[in-house]
Chain A
Amino acid sequence: MQFQKEVEILAPREKVWQFIWDVDRFIACVPGCKDAKTVEEGKRYSATMTEKVGPFKVEFPTTIEILEREELTRIKAQASGADNKIGSRMKIDLDVHLRESDNKTILSFTAGVDVLGKLAALGHGIIKRKADQVLDEFAQAVKKKLEGEA
């Protein structure tokens, strides 16, 4: 599943870039994400992603690997996790871009999301919708956090 999101943030690019690397606050913007930790600064992070669709709950202990980094411009990362209780795996390929426009920063990202295992039984449509919701909320939360402190 491919998603593309873009959000306009009323904050300078440097601030947005710094915010992304402030792992705890950044991860807190992902709905249902908790226990963010730095495993290797700039390279590897971990967190627990939880989601709920009605009675169906998942908890993915997730590892986030930073694959590429272009200062102030771009981050390429991969997040993966498995919920053994429900026999499912999740993988997200994330490509984040920052660019300046007037006095705003445009944060855009593409996310390739794969959900494998039993959870897929819920139906591609439901998962897609949920993933879309989560990414939307995430983008909005980042914007709010950054603008709130401007």
Chain B
Amino acid sequence: MLRRFRLEEPQSVAETSELLGRFGDSAKIYAGGTELLLAMKEGLVQYERLINVKRLGLNQISAENGTVKIGALCTHYELELSPAIQQRLPSLLKLEHNVANVRVRQAGTIGGNLCFAEPHADPGTLLMALGAKMVSETGSAKREIAAEDFFIDAYETSLTAEEVLTEIRVPAPGANARSAYLKFGYLERPSVGVALAFNLNGASVSDVRIAVGCAGPAPKRVAEAEALLDGKSKDEATRNLAQAGTVAGRAAEAISDLHGAQDYKEHIVGVLLKRAFQAAVS
């Protein structure tokens, strides 16, 4: 059983923001509830008010002018069904198809997933590698936050107390773009996630972006590993994969826990990076 709370159902982002400002810590945004309700059931958090944001119409997906725009309140399932995602962002499609289980995909939203910032989550890592930007709004202001600046720490994003995440903007990859997201885990949530994106021009690898997630407190890009692949020929990049994997593993800030020891997770990062590269170039 949950403790009682009052349900607020704002009709606009401005109203939502106003409610957040007025009630502060005693209120929380409620979307799919797949993370929030669990924490509430556990008694780890308590709120006097839940603010239902599913009536704000923020579940549209569109592709315009080279950008795929994903409404924050799109469920993982809606992303799976979206022609724009299917056609333009196949690596994201595959990721969404494999989030948790079919029931979580039905109720959970991508925005909720990103904002709760559970360390053991998938979308943030790939969105970082794809160069995504998060759009957040209050009643009077709107800003874009690069994915690498969005995640601060475990369960912590750079959103202010009154901001609402409304949209995720992903640059539509060009014809030479390759990307892959691989994850590993044997518990309910993933233990290690690695995302890789780059351009492959002939046999030349460029614009490399590598992100690691799940192993540490928050997803992060690994510039040092990117440098080992960027601007190299496919063969040279392949030869550097092992070292890039080691670098990325260390950068993951892996925590020893039930998901595995720190060195184990670091090792898996390397394995996934290698496989992701091979999957992406094939």
Contact = CB atoms under 8 A, between A and B. Distances in A.
A adjacent to B, CB under 8 Å: yes
Interface of A: 53-57, 85-87, 118-119, 121-126, 128-129
Nearest to B154: A126
B258 interface: yes
Interface stretch (B8-16, B38-46, B136-144): B38-46
Given A87-B43, A129-B255, 4 more contacts: A53-B153, A56-B44, A125-B256, A126-B119
A121 B39 CA distance: 10
A53 B255 contact: no
Interface residues of B, number: 19
Given A118-B44, A123-B257, A55 B39 contact: yes
Consensus secondary structure, chain B interface: loop
A124 B155 contact: no
Contact of B44 (A86, A125, A128, A129): A86
B95 to A, nearest CB: 23
A121 B42 contact: yes
A124 B44 contact: no
Contact of B117 (A54, A119, A123): A54
B49 interface: no
A126 B259 CA distance: 12
Contacts of B39: 55-56
A125 B255 contact: yes
A119 B44 contact: yes
A126 B119 CA distance: 9
Contact of A129 (B28, B43, B45, B217): B217
A77 B154 CA distance: 30
